[in-house]
C-alpha cells in the first residue's frame, strides 16, 4: 500500500497531450492525474494505443511536433514544475533525476558506438567528469547490472550482445546518474520469459539499492501483480481506475479492468476460448462521447453515452471512472452468464 | 570488431578498389615529387629548335609546341587536378553536410527554404554557371577555382545528409539519448554524424573524379587555372592542333586524366561497397 507518510515525488495533474494530424486532433493523453511517491513502484497498465507510452514521454517533455502538451497540464517533480523549465534545465532533469528505459533494447542503442561509450555519454551529459572517469564508471555500472566481464563487454558493440544483455546495458545507461524516478516503458516486452524475470529481479534489487521510485508501464498484468504496490489503469487516454495492486486484482471496480483481468488465461480454469473484451480501442481522434468505454461495456446505459464520469471513489484508496460506482445496483449478470459481485 | 575496421577489411578485399587507391596514391606522389625529379615545366631551352619533339632520353615524353617538357608538365598538371579535385570535393562535402544537418534538424520552414533553394540550384547547369563566372573573372587563382567548383557541387550531399538525418531523428537511440539528457550538439556529434559519414564519404570520393574532369574541361576551354601553369586540360588544348604530327603532347595528359578519374571512381565504388554492404 502507498503509505500516506511518503512524500509525493512526482505529481501529475491534468496532463494532456495532443497530436495534430490530417484527420483531426488526436487527444492521446487526456487529463491524466498520477502520483508516485519516493521509492514506490507504481504500475501503469493499458492496451496498446491507450496513451501510456505517450504519458511517459510527456513527463520528460519528449513529445515532438506535431504533438504537444496542452496548456493547463502540470508535472511536478519534488514540487518543481517540469513543464515550466527552460530547455537546458529540462535536459538536466532527463537521465539525472528521471530516467527512461525504452522497450526495444536493440534499437535504443546506437549500433556504431561501443556500449561503454554510450553509458559514459549518459554520465557526461550531467556530470563534469573526465572521459576516463566516465568510462570507469560505465564499467562499474555494467558490473552493477550483472554483466560478467564488464571491462571487456564495455568495448562491445550492441549487435555483439544478447537481448537480455542489451536490456541490462539500457538499464545501466538509465541508472548511471542514480535517478530518483525510473520510467520503465515495457522494459521486458522484447525479451523471452526467463530473461524477463531476471531483468525484473535485477530492477527490483537496484531499486532498493538506489532508493528510486519506478513507474512501470506495461500491458502485462502478471508483472503488475508481482512488482507494483499501486496501479493506474489507462484506457483511451484517461486513467480509468486507480487502486492498490492487491485491491485491483481482488475487486476491480471499472468494467474495463474487470475485462482485462478476465482476459488473462488461468491455469485453474478450463476454458474453450480466451475471453476478450468485445470491440476495439477507438481512434484517438474520435473518442466516444460520454464514458469512453461505453461502446464496449456490458453495463452501459443512457447516462454512460452522454456524460463522462469523473474518477469516483469506489473504496478507500480506490477510484474508478465509472457511473456504476454511484449506481452499484446496475451491476447485473454479465452477458456470458457469469455474475460479477 | 568496430564497424570502421570491418569496412576497412571489406575494402582491402576489393581488388579494383585497392588498385584504384594505389594509382591515386602514385599519382599524388608523382605530383608532389614533380618539382624535384623533372625539369621546370615552363622552361623553353630552345624555343624554336625543340618544338614537338618525340620522346627521347632528355624528354621522355617529348616536347610540346612551345618546346616544353611534356613529362614535367603532365606531372605538374597532376598537382592542379588533384588539388582542385580533392580540395573542392572536401569543401563541397563540408558545405553539403552543414546544410543537410540544418535542413534536417531545423524547423519545417528552415528545411523548406533550404531544400527548395537546392532544387533551384540543381536546375541550373553547373558547367554553364562556371563558364559564365570564369569568362568574367579572367585571372581567377586556383583557390577560387576550388571554391567555385565546391560552391556549385554540394547540393547532392546536402540532400543525402538531410534524408539520413530525417530518418535518424526518429531512431530510438536518438530518443533514448535525449531521454537521458544529451544536448543537441552531442547528439549530432555522436549519433548523427557517424551514421551520415558513410554515405557522405562515398559521395565525396565519387565526386573527385567528376570534379577533375570538370576542371580539365574548363582548362581546355582556357578558363579557370590559366596558362602557362600546366593543367591537363590546357595541355590537351595545346596538343589538339598537332594531334597527328605529335600525338604525345595530348596523349600524355589525356592518359593521366583517364587513369586518375578511373582510379578515383574504382576507389569510390570500393568505399561504397565497404561502407554500405546493403547497397552493394
| Backbone Cα Rg of chain B | 22
Q: Does B166 lie at the interface with A, CB-CB under 8 angstroms?
A: no
**CA–CA separation, B52 vs B46, rounded Å?**
12
**Cβ contacts of B172 on chain A, cutoff 8 Å:** 102, 104, 107-108
**Cβ contacts of A95 on chain B, cutoff 8 Å:** 179-182
Kindly report the backbone phi and psi dihedral angles of residue B156, in degrees, each rounded to the nearest multiple of 5, phi listed first.
-65, -40
CA distance B174 to chain A (A): 7
Mean per-residue pLDDT, B37-63: 73
Question: Are B181 and A95 a contacting pair at CB < 8 A?
Answer: yes
**pLDDT single digits (tens) A57-91:** 888 898 888 888 888 888 989 888 888 888 888 88
Residue B127 is assigned to a structural domain of this protein:
yes
pLDDT value for B222 = 83
What residue in A sits closest to B190 (Cα-Cα)?
Answer: A113
**Number of domains comprising chain B:** 1
CA distance B89 to chain A (A): 25
**Cβ contacts of A174 on chain B, cutoff 8 Å:** 180
Question: Are B194 and A113 a contacting pair at CB < 8 A?
Answer: yes
Per-residue three-class SS string for B17-58: HHHHHHHHHHHHHHHHHHHHHCCCCCCCCCCCCCCCCCCCCC
What residue in A sits closest to B3 (Cα-Cα)?
Answer: A112
What residue in A sits closest to B185 (Cα-Cα)?
Answer: A125
Nearest to A277 by CA among A291, A268, A264: A264
3-state percent helix, strand, coil for chain B, nearest multiple of 5: 70, 0, 25
Question: Are A112 and B195 a contacting pair at CB < 8 A?
Answer: yes
Residue B280 is assigned to a structural domain of this protein:
no
More confident residue, B277 or B193: B193
Residues with Cβ within 8 Å of residue A159, at least 6 apart in sequence: A106, A111
**CA–CA separation, A71 vs A73, rounded Å?**
6
Q: Are strands A80-81 and A74-77 parallel, antiparallel or unpaired?
A: antiparallel
Residue B244 is assigned to a structural domain of this protein:
yes
Exposed / middle / buried, residue B44 (Cβ in 10 Å: 0-12, 13-18, 19+): middle
- Residues of the domain holding B159: 3-39+48-275
**pLDDT single digits (tens) A126-173:** 888 888 898 999 998 898 888 888 889 999 998 888 888 888 898 889
**Cβ contacts of B175 on chain A, cutoff 8 Å:** 62, 102, 108
**CA–CA separation, B52 vs A328, rounded Å?**
111
Question: Are A107 and B186 a contacting pair at CB < 8 A?
Answer: no
- For B217-233, give the DSSP string: HHHHTT-SSPTTS--HH
ipTM, 2 dp: 0.74
**CA–CA separation, A53 vs A237, rounded Å?**
10
Q: Are strands A41-45 and A98-101 parallel, antiparallel or unpaired?
A: unpaired
CATH code at B145? Answer: 1.10.3720.10
Residue B112 is assigned to a structural domain of this protein:
yes
Question: Are B175 and A122 a contacting pair at CB < 8 A?
Answer: no
Exposed / middle / buried, residue B39 (Cβ in 10 Å: 0-12, 13-18, 19+): middle
Mean residue pLDDT across chain A: 85
For B114-149, b/e burial (b = at least 16 CB within 10 A) is bbeebeeeeeeeeeeebbebbeeeeebebeebbbbb
Mean per-residue pLDDT, A273-290: 80
Mean per-residue pLDDT, B219-225: 84
A21-80 residues touching B, CB cutoff 8 A: 57, 60, 62
- Label residue A232 by pLDDT band (50, 70, 90): very high
**CA–CA separation, A277 vs A291, rounded Å?**
16
Q: Are strands A312-315 and A318-320 parallel, antiparallel or unpaired?
A: antiparallel
pTM for the full predicted model: 0.75
Q: Does A95 lie at the interface with B, CB-CB under 8 angstroms?
A: yes
Mean per-residue pLDDT, A109-136: 88
- Label residue A2 by pLDDT band (50, 70, 90): very low
SS3 A252: coil
CA distance B87 to chain A (A): 28
CA distance B143 to chain A (A): 36
Question: Are A102 and B186 a contacting pair at CB < 8 A?
Answer: no
Q: Does B186 lie at the interface with A, CB-CB under 8 angstroms?
A: yes
Q: Does B183 lie at the interface with A, CB-CB under 8 angstroms?
A: yes
Q: Does B6 lie at the interface with A, CB-CB under 8 angstroms?
A: no
For A118-135, b/e burial (b = at least 16 CB within 10 A) is bbbbbbbbbeeeeeeebb
Q: Tell me what percent of the residues of chain A surpass a pLDDT of 90.
A: 11
Grid coordinates given for A218? 506495461
Task: Note whether A148 and A162 are within 8 A (CB).
Answer: no
Q: Does A109 lie at the interface with B, CB-CB under 8 angstroms?
A: yes
**CA–CA separation, A73 vs A66, rounded Å?**
17
pLDDT value for A68 = 87
pLDDT value for B219 = 87
**CA–CA separation, B178 vs A91, rounded Å?**
8
Domains and CATH numbers, chain A: 8-234 (3.40.50.300), 245-330 (no CATH)
Q: Tell me what percent of the residues of chain B surpass a pLDDT of 90.
A: 27
Grid coordinates given for A335? 452477458
Kindly report the backbone phi and psi dihedral angles of residue A184, in degrees, each rounded to the nearest multiple of 5, phi listed first.
-105, 105
**Cβ contacts of A100 on chain B, cutoff 8 Å:** 176, 179-180
**Cβ contacts of A99 on chain B, cutoff 8 Å:** 179-180
Amino acid at each position: 500500500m502507498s503509505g500516506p507518510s511518503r512524500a509525493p515525488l512526482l505529481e501529475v495533474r491534468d496532463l494532456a497531450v495532443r497530436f495534430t494530424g490530417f484527420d483531426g486532433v488526436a487527444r492521446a493523453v487526456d487529463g491524466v492525474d498520477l502520483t508516485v511517491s519516493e521509492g514506490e513502484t507504481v504500475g501503469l497498465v493499458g492496451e496498446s494505443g491507450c496513451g501510456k507510452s505517450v504519458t511517459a514521454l510527456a513527463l520528460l517533455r519528449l513529445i515532438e511536433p506535431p504533438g504537444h502538451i496542452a496548456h493547463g497540464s502540470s508535472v511536478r517533480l519534488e514540487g518543481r514544475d517540469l513543464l515550466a523549465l527552460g530547455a537546458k534545465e529540462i535536459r538536466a532533469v532527463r537521465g539525472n533525476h528521471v530516467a527512461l528505459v525504452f522497450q526495444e533494447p536493440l534499437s535504443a542503442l546506437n549500433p556504431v558506438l561501443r556500449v561503454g561509450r554510450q553509458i559514459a555519454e549518459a554520465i557526461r551529459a550531467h556530470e563534469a567528469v573526465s572521459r576516463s572517469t566516465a568510462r570507469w564508471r560505465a564499467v562499474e555500472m555494467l558490473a552493477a547490472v550483472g554483466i560478467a566481464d564488464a571491462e571487456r563487454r564495455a568495448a562491445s558493440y550492441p549487435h555483439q550482445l544478447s537481448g537480455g544483455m542489451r536490456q541490462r546495458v539500457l538499464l545501466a545507461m538509465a541508472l548511471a546518474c542514480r535517478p530518483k524516478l525510473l520510467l520503465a516503458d515495457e522494459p521486458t516486452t522484447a525479451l523471452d520469459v526467463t530473461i524477463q524475470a531476471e531483468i525484473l529481479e535485477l530492477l527490483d534489487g537496484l531499486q532498493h539499492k538506489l532508493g528510486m521510485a519506478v513507474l512501470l508501464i506495461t500491458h502485462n498484468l502478471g508483472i503488475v501483480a508481482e512488482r507494483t504496490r499501486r496501479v493506474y489503469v489507462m484506457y483511451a487516454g484517461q486513467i480509468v481506475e486507480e487502486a492498490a495492486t492487491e485491491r485491483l486484482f481482488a475487486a476491480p471496480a471499472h468494467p474495463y479492468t474487470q475485462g482485462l483481468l478476465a482476459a488473462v488465461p488461468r491455469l485453474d480454469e478450463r476454458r474453450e476460448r480466451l475471453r476478450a473484451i468485445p470491440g476495439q480501442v477507438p481512434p484517438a481522434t474520435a473518442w466516444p462521447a460520454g464514458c469512453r468505454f461505453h461502446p464496449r461495456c456490458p453495463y452501459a446505459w443512457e447516462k454512460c453515452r452522454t456524460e463522462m464520469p469523473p474518477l469516483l471513489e469506489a473504496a478507500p484508496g480506490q477510484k474508478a471512472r465509472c457511473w456504476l460506482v454511484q449506481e452499484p445496483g446496475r451491476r447485473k449478470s454479465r452477458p456470458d452468464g457469469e455474475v460479477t459481485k | 570488431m568496430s564497424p570502421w575496421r570491418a569496412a576497412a577489411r571489406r575494402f582491402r578485399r576489393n581488388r579494383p578498389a585497392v588498385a584504384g587507391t594505389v594509382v591515386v596514391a602514385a599519382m599524388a606522389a608523382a605530383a608532389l615529387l614533380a618539382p624535384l625529379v623533372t625539369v621546370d615545366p615552363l622552361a623553353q631551352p630552345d624555343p624554336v629548335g625543340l618544338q614537338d619533339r618525340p620522346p627521347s632520353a632528355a624528354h621522355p615524353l617529348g616536347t610540346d609546341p612551345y618546346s616544353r617538357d611534356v613529362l614535367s608538365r603532365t606531372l605538374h598538371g597532376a598537382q592542379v587536378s588533384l588539388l582542385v579535385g580533392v580540395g573542392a570535393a572536401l569543401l563541397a562535402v563540408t558545405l553539403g553536410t552543414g546544410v543537410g544537418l540544418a535542413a534536417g534538424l531545423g524547423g519545417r520552414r528552415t528545411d523548406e527554404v533550404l531544400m527548395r533553394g537546392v532544387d533551384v540550384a540543381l536546375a541550373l547547369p553547373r558547367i554553364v554557371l562556371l563558364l559564365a563566372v570564369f569568362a568574367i573573372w579572367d585571372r581567377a587563382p586556383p583557390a577560387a577555382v576550388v571554391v567555385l567548383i565546391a560552391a556549385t557541387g554540394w547540393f547532392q550531399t546536402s540532400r543525402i545528409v538531410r534524408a539520413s538525418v530525417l530518418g535518424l531523428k526518429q531512431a530510438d537511440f536518438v530518443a533514448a539519448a535525449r531521454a537521458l539528457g544529451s544536448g543537441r550538439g552531442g547528439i549530432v556529434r555522436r549519433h548523427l554524424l557517424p551514421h551520415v559519414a558513410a554515405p557522405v564519404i562515398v559521395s565525396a570520393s565519387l565526386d573527385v573524379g567528376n570534379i577533375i574532369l570538370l576542371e580539365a574541361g574548363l582548362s581546355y576551354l582556357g578558363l579557370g587555372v590559366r596558362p602557362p601553369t600546366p593543367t591537363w586540360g590546357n595541355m590537351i588544348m595545346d596538343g589538339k592542333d598537332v594531334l597527328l604530327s605529335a600525338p604525345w603532347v595530348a596523349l600524355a595528359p589525356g592518359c593521366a586524366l583517364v587513369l586518375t578519374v578511373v582510379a578515383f571512381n574504382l576507389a569510390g565504388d570500393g568505399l561504397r561497397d565497404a561502407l554500405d554492404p546493403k547497397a552493394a
